Amino acid sequence: MLRLDNLSVTYGPGMTALSAIALDLYPGEFTVLLGASGAGKSTLLRCLNHLTRPTAGQVIVEGLGNLSKPDDLREHRKQTGMIFQQHQLLPRCTAFQNVLKGRLAYYPAWRTVLPLPQRDQCIALECLDRVGLLHKALTRVSALSGGQQQRVGIARSLAQKPRLLLADEPVASLDPASAHKVLSFLHKICREDGILVVVSLHQVDLAIAYADRIIGLAHGHVVFDGSPKTLDSAQIEQLYRHTAVPITT
Ligand SMILES: Nc1ncnc2c1ncn2[C@@H]1O[C@H](COP(=O)(O)OP(=O)(O)OP(=O)(O)O)[C@@H](O)[C@H]1O
Ligand SMILES: [Mg+2]
């Protein structure tokens, strides 16, 4: 379990991106962040592993506490997989080589100049298999479609054996069929591995189709928190009525 305890982020004078967010996030719950551009979705995701440091409040991780000790933060980051809209793969390396990079978190920097043990190579192949791309293991990433590349990105995160998976608009640049495929893989992984998966999306229909829980943000505040079944059209309108104007503090 991961607790956000009155988390706030201020980027500068008069620029509050998140305002006293209090949430408990649970393993096995496919959690989707919705909200207009500028609502604070990416900031919230980045706070979950302190890529963006909270200005106030704290992130409390089960077993690791409030991440104030460098060792606890390092351990938490090791256990956190990240998937971005731009998947940040190495295009000239094969899918397998890219997924293997997910294992590097388990080794000191000096060790990574040598080939990783067979055990890690097996994990990388298993992860490619889970996203249906074992047959593309030896294909260069630059020769894969956008949807396939995103699935390699998921496999790389899986190779990390994460407890927490963060995905910031993972399907933004994909066609509808690939978007469904990527989200159903993420959903399946969340259920099968019992890990916490938090995804930001702009497509309300996809959020409703896949989320166990939707958290709606507007101007850095939580304005909806519940099952997709309880998200009605008035609430959707409220979420997107807000424009990305800065909040004055
Ligand atoms: N590094 C930064 N420096 C200053 N302001 C920032 C920074 N990052 C985000 N902001 C501001 O914080 C607010 C929230 O931004 P954030 O990127 O979290 O929104 P978002 O919901 O992810 O938007 P989008 O849907 O466009 O990705 C916005 O007003 C944005 O301009
Ligand atoms: Mg964003």
Convert the pLDDT of each residue in 60-74 to its tens digit: 999 999 999 999 999
State which amino acid sits at residue 145. Answer: S
Q: Does 216 sit in the ligand 1 pocket, CB within 6 Å?
A: no
Q: Calculate helix-pair angle for 146-159, 176-193, nearest 10 degrees.
A: 10
Tell me the pairing of strands 30-34 and 213-218.
parallel
Residue 59's H or E segment, with its range, is strand 56-61
CA-CA distance, 83 to 157, in Å (whole number)? 7
DSSP state of 18: E
Mean pLDDT of 120-139: 95
Name the closest-CA residue to atom 2, ligand 1: 11
Name the closest-CA residue to atom 27, ligand 1: 37
Q: Does 219 sit in the ligand 1 pocket, CB within 6 Å?
A: no
Name the closest-CA residue to atom 28, ligand 1: 38
Which ligand sits closest to the CA of 41?
1
- Render pLDDT for 189-232 as a digit per residue (tens, 0 to 9): 999 999 999 999 999 999 999 999 999 999 999 999 999 999 99
Q: Report how far ligand 1's centroid is from the alpha carbon of 42 (Å).
A: 7
- Render pLDDT for 90-106 as a digit per residue (tens, 0 to 9): 999 999 999 999 998 88
Read off the pTM: 0.92
Q: Does 215 sit in the ligand 1 pocket, CB within 6 Å?
A: no
